[in-house]
Amino acid sequence: MAITAEKPASSTAVRPFTIETPDADLQDLRARILATRWPEKETVDDLSQGTPLATVQALAQYWATEYDWRRCEDLINSYPHFLTEIDGLDVHFLHIRSPHEDALPLLACHGWPGSIVEQLKIIEPLTNPTAHGGQASDAFHVVIPSMPGYGYSGKPSAKGWGPEHIASAWAVLMERLGYDRYVATGGDWGGQIVDLMGAQAPAGLAGIHTNFPGAVRDDVAAAVFSGSPPPAGLDAEETRLYEKLKAFWATDVFYALEMATHPQSLYGIADSPVGLAGWILDHDATSLALITRVFDGQSEGLSRDDVLDNITHYWLTNTGISSGRLYAENTQSFFGPKGVSVPVAVSIFPGELYQAPRSWAERAYPNLIHYNTLDKGGHFAAWEQPELFVNEVRVGLRSLR
Amino acid sequence: MSSISPSPSRRGFLSLSAATIAAATVGAVSSNRAAASSAGLDTAADPRIRRFHVNEPQRKLLELRRRVLATQWPEEETVPDQSQGVQLATMQALAHYWATKYDWRKCEARINSYPHFITEIDGLDIHFLHVRSKHEGALPLLVTHGWPGSIVEQLKIIEPLTNPTAHGGKASDAFHLVIPSMPGYGYSGKPTTTGWELNRIARAWAELMKRLGYTKYVAQGGDWGAIVTEVMAVQAPAGLLGIHTNLPGVVPPAIDAAIQAGNPLPPNLSAEEKRACDQLAFVYQHIAYARIMGDRPQTLTGLVDSPIALAAFMLDHDKASLNSISRTFAGQPGFGLSRDDVLDNVTHFWLTNTGVSSSRLFWENKTPFFAVKGIKLPVAVSVFPDEIYQAPRSWAEKAYVKLLRYNKLPVGGHFAAWEQPQLFSEELRASFRSLR
C-alpha cells in the first residue's frame, strides 16, 4: 500500500494522510481472484456449512470484473484523514469537523471484520445534520480511528495492544485533537472499547453510545460458556437470550477463538483474496444471510460495493492476521459488564448477536441515559442502517450536550 | 519417506522442461480395470475393483510452485514462540523448500509402487492401498488415517508389516494391509451430499474388507482413524477380530463433559488421570481449528486457494507436532518427520484439492472424540508420549472390556505410524499376536 504522509515533526504530530494504492496492487488482486482455485460446492443447500460456494463465486466475479476500489479510495480521501503516533504506534484516523463550531466531538470505533469503511455513511449526517433531517444542535465533529493492526494504522510488532490499551489511546487521540469534552460510540470490538473507555472514564469523556452493549449477566455468561443450565429466576426474555447466546457459543464463535489462540496460522486470509472474503463474510449467521442475499441480487442494508470496499481495504492493507491478533490480546469478556461509570446510551438492533434487555442494560450501566430497540438493522448497524443509527446517536447523546 | 535418498532423475519443480510440460496432458489420475490383473491379486478378480495409478499433470505442479512463490505473507507474529500459531519463519522456510527442492514425483512413485485401487461403496469411490504379504497366513489389517493425515501417513509401515522377516520380525508377524483414503480425502470421492459420518465410513470399511475376501481381520487407527476404528468395533461386523488404537477414546463421559465445561473434576483421580485431564483441557482450549471445520468447513476457502494456507493449517494440528515440524524446517532434526514427509502429505492434500472436503468430516461428526463408546471386541492400546493426551491404563481397562494390551512407548507423537514406524509396527505385531 503506497501511502503519503508528511514526515512527523515530533512524535505527537498529526500528519495528513492520503491513500494512493499502486495500480500493481490492484492488478495483482485481480489476477489472484481470477486464478482462484475453488473447493467443490457445499453438501447442503443452506448456510449451515459456512459461506456458500455460489456466494463467494458471485463475489469473485463482481470483484474481478466490475468492482472499482478507486471509488472507495476517492471517498475516503475526500475526508481529512491523518496519522499520529500514540505509544509508539502510528494511528490512522478520519477527522471531519462539522461546519457548526459548537458541535459535540464524537469518536466512532469500528470492530472486526469492520474498519473505517463501516463508518463512512454516517459522516455526512452526523457532521452536517441540517442537510440530513437534523438540526444544527445535532451536529458532531467526528473522529474515526483505525484500530492498531487495522487499515492504515500501524501493525503492532509486540504484544500489548489489547482493548484497554486501545481505549486509553483513543483518549490520548481526542486530547491531542484538542477536544476536552467528547463522546464515543462503537459496535463489535468498538462497543467493547467504548465500554472500556467508559470504565476508564478519562477526563473529557462525557458519555458513550453502544450498539453492542457489554451487558450479559455474569451468571448467564458463565452458564453459557460452561454449557450449564440457565441460572434460576430468568424471565422469558432472559431465558430466550440465554438460549440464543448458548447457540451462538456452541456453533458460531470458533472463528474468534481461532484468532484468539492461533491467529498466525490463518495464512489463507493473507494470501488468498477469496480466503479472506469467505472468512470475513462468515462473521455471524444473520450478516452472512444478508450478504448472501445481496450477492444473489437482492438489495438491502449492504450493497456489493459496501462488502467489497471493506474486504478490499483489508486485502490492500494486508491486515487479515494483524487485525485478528486483537482477539489474542483480549482478556475481557466479550459480552460482560466492564464497570462503566459514565452515562451510556444503548441501541438494540434486531439482527445483532444478542439483544440486551433493558434490565440487563440498567444493571451494566448505572447511568443509562437512553435505551431503544430498533425495528431493523444488524451487527453492522452504522453501515447497514446509517439513518437509524445516526438518529440513535443524536437522540441517545442529546442530554449530554 | 525420510530414508529415501535424492533420485538422480528427480522430476521436481526445478527440472521442468517444455517437453515434460507438453507431455503431461493426461489426467491427474487414471484407473484401469484391465490393468488389475497384472497385480496378481485376488482382488483383481472382482470387477467392482479398479486398479489405480497416480500421475499428476506437470502443469499442476508448476501451478503449485507459482502459487507458493507468489505468496502474500503476513507480518511476523508478535511473540518469539509458537503461541500465536505457525511462525512466519517456519512457513517461509517451508515455502522455500517446497518451491525449490521438494519433489512430489518421489512420493507419487512411492505410492504407485504399491498396488492401489478404487471401488465404489455406498455410492462413493473409495481409494485404497492393498498390499498383500508374501506370507499366506498373514493377518489382514485395515489401517485408517486421520486429519490432517492421509495414506501418506501410513507408507512407512507397509514394508515392516507386510514383510516382517526383512524388518526384525517373524513370518508369523505378517499382515496383509488395506489402507483406505477416507471419503473426501486423497483419491477417494468427495461426497456431494451429507451423510458420510463415522458410522457410515465404518460400515464401508467392513464392506471393503468383505469385498476383498477377508473373513477374519483386524483394524487400526489414530486420530479420526481411531474413532472410525472404534466405531467399527462397536458395530462389530462379522470378521472383525479386534482393533488397535493410538488415540483411544477412554475418557469417562462425566469427566469429559466436566473438562469441556471447565467444571470441577472428581476428587479421587489418580495422578495419571489428573494429567490426562489437564492435557485434554489444553486440547479443548486449542481446538478452534477443528470446531471451525465442524461448523463452517465451506468458509475455509483459503485452504484450497492458497498452498501456504493449507500447509499452515495442517502444521498447526497440535502443540507437540507443530513444535517438532518447526524444528525440522529450522534445520534442527525433529523426532521423526522430515521436510519431505510433511510436504508429501500437504502436497497430496493440495493436488487432490481436498482441504475443504476433508474438513467436512468434522461437520458430519456427531461422535465424541475422546469419550467411551462401548466396545465389546478385543482392543489393544499404544500410548505415545507426545500424543495429545496419554490415556491412563485405569481408563482403558474400564472403557475396553477386553483390553488385549496396553503399552506406553518412550517416543512418538500424534502421527505415530509416520514418526516412529518401527516402534509402531512392533506395537501392532505384539498387539494382535493373540488374535491370530
Please state the separation of Cα B57 from the chain's center in Å.
Answer: 24
Chain B residues near residue A25 by CB distance under 8 angstroms: none
C-beta atoms of B310 and A320 within 8 A:
no
Residues 119-138 of A with CB under 8 A from B: none
Grid cell locating B99: 518451491
Q: Which residues pair with B141 in a beta bridge?
A: B177, B218
C-beta atoms of A228 and B356 within 8 A:
no
Chain A residues near residue B194 by CB distance under 8 angstroms: 43-44
User: What digits encode the pLDDT tens for the residues A313-337?
Assistant: 999 999 999 999 999 999 988 899 9
Buried b (16+ CB within 10 A) or exposed e, B144-173: bbbbbbbbbbbbbbbbbbbbbeebebeeeb
Residues 7-36 of A with CB under 8 A from B: 32, 36
C-beta atoms of A157 and B78 within 8 A:
yes
- Of the CA atoms within 13 Å of residue B264, those in its CB half-sphere come to 3
Please identify which of the residues A327, A354, A365, A371 carries the catalytic annotation. Answer: A327
Nearest to A268 among B75, B191, B309 (CB): B309
Grid cell locating A282: 462468515
Position A233 pLDDT exceeds 90: yes
Position A338 pLDDT exceeds 70: yes
Average pLDDT over residues A217-235: 91
Task: Look over chain A and give the mean of its residue pLDDT values, rounded to a whole number.
Answer: 95
Count how many pairs of residues, chain A against chain B, have C-beta atoms within 8 Å: 191
Is B264 at the interface with chain A, CB within 8 A? no
Structural contact between residues B415 and B153, judged by C-beta atoms closer than 8 angstroms: yes
The pLDDT of residue A60 is: 98
Entry pTM: 0.92
Average pLDDT over residues A26-47: 97
The pLDDT of residue B26 is: 35
Distances (CA, A) of B148 to A62, A174, B124, B317, B387: 34, 49, 21, 7, 14
Please identify which of the residues A95, A100, A283, A379 carries the catalytic annotation. Answer: A379
A379 catalytic? Reply is: yes
The pLDDT of residue A333 is: 87
C-beta atoms of A257 and B308 within 8 A:
no
C-beta atoms of A262 and B316 within 8 A:
yes
The pLDDT of residue A7 is: 57
C-beta atoms of A265 and B308 within 8 A:
no
Residues 278-317 of B with CB under 8 A from A: 285-286, 288-289, 291-292, 294-306, 308-313, 315-316
The pLDDT of residue A9 is: 58
C-beta atoms of A271 and B71 within 8 A:
yes
Residues 6 or more apart whose CB falls under 8 angstroms from that of B362 comprise: B147, B290, B291, B293, B294, B297
C-beta atoms of B288 and A260 within 8 A:
yes
By CA distance, what is B88's nearest residue in A? A264
Is A281 at the interface with chain B, CB within 8 A? yes
C-beta atoms of A268 and B299 within 8 A:
no
Residues 6 or more apart whose CB falls under 8 angstroms from that of B115 comprise: B39, B41, B51, B129, B130, B131, B132
DSSP-derived 3-state class of residue B236: coil
Least confident of A10-24, A55-69, A194-208: A10-24
Task: Please state, in angstroms and rounded to a whole number, the distance separating the CA atoms of residues B364 and B398.
Answer: 28
- What is the 3-class SS of chain A, one letter each residue? CCEEECCCCCCCCEEEEEECCCHHHHHHHHHHHHCCCCCCCCCCCCCCCCCCHHHHHHHHHHHHHCCCHHHHHHHHHCCCEEEEEECCEEEEEEEECCCCCCCEEEEEECCCCCCHHHHHHHHHHHHCHHHCCCCHHHCEEEEEECCCCCCCCCCCCCCCCCHHHHHHHHHHHHHHCCCCCEEEEECCHHHHHHHHHHHHCCCCEEEEEECCCCCCCHHHHHHHHHCCCCCCCCCHHHHHHHHHHHHHHHHCCHHHHHHHHCHHHCCHHHHCHHHHHHHHHCCCHHHHHHHHHHHCCCCCCCCHHHHHHHHHHHHHHCCHHHHHHHHHHCCCCCCCCCCCCCCEEEEECCECCCCCCHHHHHHHCCCEEEEEECCCCECCHHHHCHHHHHHHHHHHHHHHC
Task: Please state, in angstroms and rounded to a whole number, the distance separating the CA atoms of residues B414 and A376.
Answer: 49
Chain A residues near residue B257 by CB distance under 8 angstroms: 227
Q: What is the pLDDT along chain B (436 residues), one digit of tens a residue?
A: 333 333 333 333 333 333 333 333 333 444 444 333 333 445 557 899 999 999 999 999 999 999 999 999 999 999 999 999 999 999 999 999 999 999 999 999 999 999 999 999 999 999 999 999 999 999 999 999 999 999 999 999 999 999 999 999 999 999 999 999 999 999 999 999 999 999 999 999 999 999 999 999 999 999 999 999 999 999 999 999 999 999 999 999 999 999 988 889 999 999 999 999 999 999 999 999 999 999 999 999 999 999 999 999 999 999 999 999 999 999 997 668 999 999 999 999 999 999 999 999 999 998 888 989 999 999 999 999 999 999 999 999 999 999 999 999 999 999 999 999 999 999 999 999 999 9
In which band, very low, low, confident or very high, does the pLDDT at A251 lie, cut at 50, 70 and 90? Answer: confident
Distances (CA, A) of A148 to A157, A193, A310, B341, B387: 10, 12, 16, 39, 37
C-beta atoms of B356 and A159 within 8 A:
no
Task: Please state, in angstroms and rounded to a whole number, the distance separating the CA atoms of residues A154 and A2.
Answer: 14
Q: Map grid coordinates 521423526 to a residue.
A: B336
User: What digits encode the pLDDT tens for the residues A87-108?
Assistant: 999 999 999 999 999 999 999 9
Chain B residues near residue A312 by CB distance under 8 angstroms: none
The pLDDT of residue B12 is: 37
In which band, very low, low, confident or very high, does the pLDDT at A12 lie, cut at 50, 70 and 90? Answer: confident
Nearest to B291 among A226, A254, A269 (CB): A254
What Rg, from alpha-carbon coordinates, does chain A have?
20
Is A53 at the interface with chain B, CB within 8 A? yes
A62 catalytic? Reply is: no
A188 catalytic? Reply is: yes
- Among A267, A276, A291, the strongest candidate for a mutation testing the B interface, having the largest count of B CBs within 10 A, is A267
